[in-house]
Structure 1
């Protein structure tokens, strides 16, 4: 899986305390599969709302939604999901010359980052959240404990698999960022600085980028420069 869904910000000394850069309940939708809805806007081109988890079967629905779409901008709200699917979806968005936006009050986390970065022009409105974390194969601590309990050979094998997969992920992340025009410093200065594992509150491993960081690392190609027009403010949904 691609690691771009990884990110940074929580200092190691914070331990199990929730990352203060992120709200307690980010508005990223709890749809179990990503849904696509065209939202008409008086006097403007329509936008395509992409909401929900990035599921294994996303790609055919994304292609169909883009083919029928008469606009040029996608708004994203997602808790992430399948990283490799997210990577492919981001490339499809780029191939179709679509812009991406995280509107005020919406959150794009983990694999959602890939879709967002696929935009030819990218906007993070004031109040929109681009959330990253350190992708890891070691997040399931119980699975690791079980392998360790089975003996040295199992543990060595697990470590070898993790090392190999981690190297592949780092390479995939670098490649994706370069292709999409994102600064690779986002990986080294933010994502890879985060705690990869932790028990308890998952927010201890999240990092919500500030507007300054969004601009510095070229996550947004168009820096936010004022109040977002009301017609660009989607209604806050229940998250279903």
Structure 2
């Protein structure tokens, strides 16, 4: 080991050659730049959070351009209806006028129309499937056709509703200018015959876990991932059982939960989410 001090390296020599105070100025401007960067990131986060809060809480219709082939990703509105410039209001059995503007923000309700038709309007929440069963066992016992107008919600309840629809041999439809998103297309799939009217907005996206329970770090994360994977498998199994092409769910898995992949009329037919009388599944 040498007794002599090692000669300063290149960086140290450069620093020693700087005029008095220059190092302090460099440190000051470095801290200033870092602070500005952090502030800019905070502003972007706030703006992003505000935009996401608006998307999640908005109950007023949002005007969006109509999806076209190759341009089908739109924001997912869990409590509102997206409208394109040339879209109107859906005609729904049991309604004399279009549903109220906040109908999508409320738990799904069931309305009996004429000639065996009924409508299901609003969010699919936990317990909606049981409410649907009570409706079919009560005033809706003679229903043969169900019109859907819903932003979706609980996948579990949507699967149960689809099973009920098939057991009761009901037809399903999304009326012209109607909205059927997220878990709602699973209910649509249950129909023994399925239709989507002109300008109907039918879309899918990723299944996601609703936060809840006690935080448990990696274990909770693993449990959530396993739960989501099991739910995806249930969705695909349902589609197969209902004679819908399970390739449909590829678009769901590729689309983030805050967005929606809106299916074109050609895709609705290709995946057999809508049917013709000749291709309707056997009842």
Q: Same fold judged by TM-score > 0.5? A: yes
Q: Measure how far apart 1:191 and its partner are.
A: 1.4
**What's the counterpart of residue 195 of structure 1?**
256
Structure 1 residue ranges without an equivalent (≥5): 1-15, 148-153, 197-201, 224-240
Q: Measure how far apart 1:164 and its partner are.
A: 1.4
Q: 2:162 aligns with which of 87, 90, 96?
A: 90
**What's the counterpart of residue 210 of structure 1?**
264
Partner deviation per Cα, 1:43-73 (whole Å, 9 max, x = no partner): xx24101101112222333123223333410
C-alpha contact (below 8 Å) 2:207/2:232 kept by paired residues:
no
How far, CA to CA, are the matches of 1:57 and 1:160 in structure 2? 26
**What's the counterpart of residue 175 of structure 1?**
237
C-alpha contact (below 8 Å) 2:186/2:235 kept by paired residues:
no
Q: Measure how far apart 1:214 and its partner are.
A: 0.4
Q: Measure how far apart 1:157 and its partner are.
A: 2.4
Q: Is 1:135 the counterpart of 2:207 in the alignment?
A: yes
TM-score by length of 1: 0.67
TM-score by length of 2: 0.58
Give me the CA root mean square deviation.
2.8
Which structure 2 residues correspond to residues 60-71 of structure 1 after superposition, within 5 A? 60-67=130-137, 68-69=139-140, 70-71=142-143
**What's the counterpart of residue 197 of structure 2?**
125
What secondary structure sits across from 1:48 in the alignment? Answer: strand
Q: Measure how far apart 1:113 and its partner are.
A: 1.8
- Higher-Rg member (1/2): 2
Could you say if the C-alpha distance between residues 185 and 157 of structure 1 is closer, same or farther in structure 2, counting changes exceeding 3 Å? same
C-alpha contact (below 8 Å) 1:31/1:51 kept by paired residues:
no
Q: Measure how far apart 1:108 and its partner are.
A: 0.8
Greater relative contact order structure (CA < 8 Å, 6+ sep): 1
How far, CA to CA, are the matches of 1:130 and 1:53 in structure 2? 15
Q: 1:30 aligns with which of 101, 104, 110?
A: 104
Q: Measure how far apart 1:26 and its partner are.
A: 2.3
Q: Measure how far apart 1:116 and its partner are.
A: 1.1
Q: Is 1:103 the counterpart of 2:164 in the alignment?
A: no
C-alpha contact (below 8 Å) 1:29/1:79 kept by paired residues:
no
Q: Measure how far apart 1:88 and its partner are.
A: 0.5
**What's the counterpart of residue 50 of structure 1?**
120
Partner deviation per Cα, 1:133-168 (whole Å, 9 max, x = no partner): 11123x87xx9xxx7xxxxxx543243223312321
